[in-house]
Amino acid sequence: MYRTGNKILTYQGKMFGIAPPFTPASIANLTAWYGDYVNGGTLRTTLNNGANVNQWDDSSGNGFHLANKISQPTYTSAGNSVNIGVGDALWCSRPVLSGASVCTIFMAYKYNDGTQHGYIMGFGIASGGGAFDIANLNATNGTFNLTNEVVSKGALTQTLNTGQKAVFSLNMPNANTNTAVLRKNASAKSLNTGSDFTLNITSSGKFIIGGYIDSGGNATVYSSTKDFDAYEFIIYNRSLTTAEVSQVETYLNAKYTIY
């Protein structure tokens, strides 16, 4: 006879623990995690459609809260997401990554305007190559771009048209982009254009979603910026295994029905 409840299974007088559900925190070296909405707690707002999002808390336990904003991001109830519209951004005054960083980054979002382009996220300061920025350029050239504001490394034909969702994962086994592994919706993509560079993220820099950090250390947005709904952004400070990457991708797809 089986009996379940409170994650305990009883069989013939013996109790067996039931494994908790997978979350990004199930994998070691979680550095920052944005998107685990619980009654508005991580957004510090009521989860009503159109509600202003003035802060997005980091659920990793490391305190990298996006406690500052540019313009006014809002909550979108239909997709359980944060709308980062034209001119919007959320940023942290502390660097989530710094130095020559080995890392794995996951970005789950919906592109709302295929004619616009701009930055998805940025680390460090754009001075002498001391930055690491990720941009999704417009549908005309369909480029997913990594840059340190001096040189760029890109992947062609990763077009996101208006209304399209995607999970991008970027795995950096070492700090040079020549080893970077890009996946879109669990499928490997080539980073085969532009120039390689080594991550040397300034430790005094900031972290931003929806923009980049300029040469003066200021959080800013690009003049011809983007409009996207941010579902979840997850950062680890190590290179994840293929199996671990697949776990996170599966978690994001199941949660947001992306692909």
Confidence of residue 4 (pLDDT cuts 50, 70, 90): very low
Structure tokens at 210: 């929806």
The predicted pLDDT at position 194 comes to 84
User: Each residue of 82-100: pLDDT tens digit?
Assistant: 999 989 999 999 999 989 8
Give CA–CA dist 246/103, Å, rounded.
Answer: 16
Residue 231 has pLDDT above 80, yes or no: yes
> What is the CATH topology of the domain spanning 27-256?
Jelly Rolls (2.60.120)
Give this prediction's pTM: 0.90
* CA nearest neighbour of 108 among 185, 53, 31: 185
Confidence of residue 12 (pLDDT cuts 50, 70, 90): low
DSSP 26: G
Over residues 138-146, the mean pLDDT reads 62
Residue 1 has pLDDT above 50, yes or no: no
Residue 158 has pLDDT above 80, yes or no: no
The predicted pLDDT at position 161 comes to 74
* CA nearest neighbour of 58 among 43, 73, 69: 43
